């Protein structure tokens, strides 16, 4: 992974009620890093999902806050049958790491990467003079 990364994930539950119960469970742990992690997520969708996205961040596996996000993903799948997640980490070096667990078929619609090469080269004009 690059020095700085862009990171996004989605957790899908079977129902909005399961999602809301999970959010409350995380908050009731009453641990600062867990509360900060869930507060950094968007949790108020009509669909039974939780999303997270951040750009240009140091996302190292041994950082405590990063560990909590990964533990939270795994915990959702452990607690709720049919839950699933997909996480993509894109390093500034172009390296992409993707992990998923649980029921993830629908999650490709929520989170994916797109690479493109765009150019706007000037058009060559034909020479007004011809060479013989």
Question: pTM of the entire structure?
Answer: 0.84
Q: What span, in angstroms and rounded, lies between the C-alpha atoms of 130 and 35?
A: 73
Reported confidence tier of residue 105, pLDDT bands at 50, 70, 90: confident
Q: Is the pLDDT of residue 2 over 80?
A: no
* Of residues 14, 20, 25, the one with CA closest to residue 75: 25
At 45, give phi and psi (nearest 5°).
-75, 160
Tens-digit pLDDT profile for residues 10-69: 999 999 999 999 999 999 999 999 999 999 999 999 999 999 999 999 999 999 999 999
Q: Is the pLDDT of residue 125 over 90?
A: no
The pLDDT value given to residue 90: 93
């Amino acid at each position: 992974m690059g020095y700085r990364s862009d990171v996004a994930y989605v957790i899908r539950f079977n129902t909005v009620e399961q999602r809301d119960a999970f959010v409350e469970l995380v908050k009731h742990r009453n641990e600062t890093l867990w509360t900060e992690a869930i507060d950094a997520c968007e949790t108020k969708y009509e669909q039974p999902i939780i999303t997270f996205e951040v750009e240009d961040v140091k996302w190292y596996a041994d950082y405590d806050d990063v560990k909590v996000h990964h533990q939270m993903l795994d915990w959702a799948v452990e607690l709720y049958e049919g839950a699933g997640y997909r996480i993509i980490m894109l390093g500034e070096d172009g390296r992409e790491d993707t992990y998923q667990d649980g029921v993830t078929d629908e999650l490709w619609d929520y989170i994916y990467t797109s690479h493109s090469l765009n150019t706007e080269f000037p058009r060559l004009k034909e020479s007004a003079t011809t060479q013989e």
